[in-house]
């Protein structure tokens, strides 16, 4: 009870009486030079807010707002960085990312593997990559289960993911809470007759290095992964309602380089804390920071574990991980 009371008092000071955000009443200073990149291994906050830019907002501040019940609609954006602890390379890291290791696929340039003209010319490289991403090869990690815990506590407004590995689903987050912005392997569509297929129907071919074909017209069956130039799924339009409602935005493991996903990070209200947990400062948080931005740099697992500790959820997190590990060994 004492811990809760301290958190509530802290939240009252941060938000102001009557639940109004205290910082929303302060004028925000804009402009300034574009910040430089920070190196991994450093954690901290940055902003360009009031009091001559000296005011700071920390990860602990955000945790205390959540604990006190002042932030109950947590919006999350994630990228490939949350899946690297599960053993899945990201796409853009020099040397280790998928884009750096595509020589074996004989593609003219890395992004071609997700371009429709090249896919129709030679679909084999995409399906070779898809085989490596087969959902059964990887398991969710502590970051995915932290997001699951957010959902179980009734705090997860929505999880927007760039990932196509399906680990968010595998961790137990329901589809109603997910927006898979770049599609997924959960379904597939014939590129000729547009007949739809369940995701598992094409894996039998992919896992033995065959290009999957439609059983009706023999057209190539393409998983419902969004290629460059393709429209995003209809569910992506949920952002029009979700982002104005958010109390806090968590951004984890993304380079914020691919649009329109990247621009979502600027779509929450200016008064809403944005927490970036990442290797580098990226996107609008780098070139247009806000006074209530929190930047936690370094190893994602360690950073998430720190946030879990600040939230007072360490015991519950351990219990969840033990339950899920037990399912795998059972």
| Binding positions for NAD(+) | 80-84, 90-92, 162-165, 254-255, 278-280
| Binding positions for Zn(2+) | 190, 193, 214, 217
What is d(CA 161, CA 147) in angstroms, rounded to the nearest whole number? 12
Sign for the CA dihedral angle at 63, 66, 67, 70 comes to: positive
- E-strand ranges in 204-302 read 221-225, 248-252, 274-278, 293-297
| Binding positions | 80-84, 90-92, 162-165, 190, 193, 214, 217, 254-255, 278-280
Catalytic annotation on 182? yes
- Which of the residues 46, 98, 182, 239 is marked catalytic? 182
Residues in the chain: 330
86 is written with which tokens? 């599960």
Bridge partner residues of 213 (DSSP): 220
Q: How far are the Cα atoms of 16, 161, 255, 264, 297 from residue 179, in angstroms, in the given order?
A: 33, 6, 18, 12, 25
Torsion on CA atoms 109, 111, 117, 122, rounded to nearest 10: 70
Backbone angles phi, psi at 282, to 5 degrees: -135, 165
DSSP assignment of 20-69 equals --GGGGSPPP---PPPPPPPTT-EEE----TGGGT----HHHHHHHHHTT
Give me the active site residues, please.
182
């Amino acid at each position: 009870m004492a811990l809760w009371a301290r958190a509530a008092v802290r939240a009252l000071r941060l938000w102001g009486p009557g639940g109004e955000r205290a910082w929303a009443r302060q004028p925000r200073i804009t402009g300034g030079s574009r910040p430089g990149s920070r190196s991994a291994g450093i954690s901290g906050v940055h902003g360009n807010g009031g009091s001559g830019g000296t005011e700071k907002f920390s990860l602990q501040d955000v945790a205390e707002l959540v604990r006190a019940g002042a932030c109950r609609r947590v919006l999350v954006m994630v990228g490939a960085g949350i899946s690297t602890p599960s053993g899945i390379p990201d796409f853009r890291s020099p040397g280790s990312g998928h884009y750096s290791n595509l020589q074996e696929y004989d593609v003219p340039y890395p992004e071609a593997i997700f371009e429709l003209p090249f896919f129709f010319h030679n679909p084999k490289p995409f399906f070779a990559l898809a085989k490596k991403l087969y959902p059964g090869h990887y398991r969710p990690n502590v970051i995915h289960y932290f997001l699951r815990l957010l959902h179980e506590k009734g705090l997860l407004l929505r999880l927007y993911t760039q990932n196509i590995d399906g680990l968010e689903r595998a961790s137990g987050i329901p589809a109603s809470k997910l927006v898979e912005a770049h599609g997924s392997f959960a379904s597939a569509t014939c590129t000729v007759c547009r007949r739809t297929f369940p995701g598992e129907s094409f894996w039998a071919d992919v896992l033995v290095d065959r290009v999957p074909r439609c059983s009706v017209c023999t057209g190539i069956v393409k998983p419902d992964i969004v290629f460059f130039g393709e429209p995003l799924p209809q569910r992506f339009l949920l952002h029009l309602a979700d982002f104005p409602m958010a109390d806090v935005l968590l951004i984890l493991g993304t380079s914020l380089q691919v649009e329109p996903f990247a621009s979502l990070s600027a779509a929450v209200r200016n008064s809403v804390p944005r927490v970036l947990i990442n290797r580098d400062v990226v996107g609008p948080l780098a070139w247009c920071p806000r006074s209530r931005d929190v930047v936690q740099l370094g190893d994602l697992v360690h950073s998430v574990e720190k946030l879990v500790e600040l939230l007072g959820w360490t015991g519950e997190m351990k219990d969840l991980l033990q339950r899920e590990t037990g399912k795998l060994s059972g």
